[in-house]
């Protein structure tokens, strides 16, 4: 892992800052080229993207295309590309793993059980996101603490020791933006 530009500040130092300051501090501490917004293009992610675009000319933005996204998500991705002039890294699950999963368990296996949902998320979300985050020092997400439960298997799998910092909407989208 690459050394940090600045030490990552303690949470109590960051907590009183507004959203723009939290993101600026993150980019300064880790280096803008070593941080990415992992976006699903939800409301929180769009606020974060708007703030990032005001801080750096080309924020790194990545998204997962699980193969099950609604057309509106693709339309919003294209609108974000045009509005902010950003390149969006679209990451896909490995097709052979998806094909094998669907062949063995069906298209909608995630309705069958918690175990089946975890298996599906592992193939469609965890593995691709792990590839996308490789080499980064930090990542920014629109997920809030209240959106993450112990049953959310793919989030648990992403708690990797090789990340210095994950900035979530907990700091960014709390009405101070």
Q: What is the mean pLDDT of residues 1-13?
A: 56
CATH topology of domain 11-172: Rossmann fold (3.40.50)
pLDDT surpasses 90 at 99: yes
Confidence of residue 4 (pLDDT cuts 50, 70, 90): very low
Rg for the chain (alpha carbons), in Å? Answer: 17
Start-end of H helices in the chain: 11-14, 19-30, 43-55, 71-84, 95-105, 114-121, 127-133, 153-157, 169-172
Entry pTM: 0.77
pLDDT surpasses 90 at 50: yes
pLDDT surpasses 70 at 152: no
Confidence of residue 177 (pLDDT cuts 50, 70, 90): very low
Residue 5: partners with Cβ closer than 8 Å, 6 or more residues away: 28, 29, 30, 31
Q: For helices 43-55 and 19-30, give the axis angle rounded to 10 degrees.
A: 60
Taking only the tens place, the pLDDT of each residue in 115-140 is 999 899 999 998 999 899 888 888 88
For the chain, the domains span 11-172
pLDDT surpasses 70 at 173: no
58-61 contacts: CB < 8 A, separation 24 or more? 58/85, 58/86, 58/87, 59/32, 59/84, 59/86, 60/32, 60/33, 60/35, 60/36, 60/89, 61/36, 61/37, 61/86, 61/87, 61/88, 61/89
CA–chain centroid gap for 130, Å, is 10
Of all residues in the chain, the percent with pLDDT exceeding 70 is: 73
Confidence of residue 141 (pLDDT cuts 50, 70, 90): confident
Q: What is the mean pLDDT of residues 78-101?
A: 96
- SS3 label, residue 17: coil
Whole-number Å distance between alpha carbons of 53 and 87: 12
pLDDT surpasses 70 at 160: no
């Amino acid at each position: 892992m690459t050394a940090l530009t600045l030490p990552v500040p303690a949470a109590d130092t960051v907590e009183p800052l507004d959203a723009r300051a939290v993101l600026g501090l993150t980019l300064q501490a880790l280096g803008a080229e070593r941080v990415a917004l992992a976006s699903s293009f939800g409301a929180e992610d769009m606020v974060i993207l708007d703030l990032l675009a005001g801080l750096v000319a080309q924020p790194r933005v990545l998204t997962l295309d699980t193969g099950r996204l609604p057309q509106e998500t693709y339309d919003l991705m294209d609108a974000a590309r045009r509005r902010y002039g950003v390149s969006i890294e679209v990451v896909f699950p490995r097709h052979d793993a998806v094909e094998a999963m669907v062949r063995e368990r069906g298209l909608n296996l995630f309705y069958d059980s918690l175990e089946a949902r975890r298996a599906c998320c592992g193939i469609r979300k965890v593995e691709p996101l792990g590839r996308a985050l490789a080499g980064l020092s930090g990542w920014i997400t629109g997920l809030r603490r209240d959106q993450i439960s112990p049953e959310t298997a793919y989030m648990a799998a992403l708690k990797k020791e090789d990340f210095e910092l994950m900035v979530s909407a907990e700091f960014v989208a709390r009405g101070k933006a």
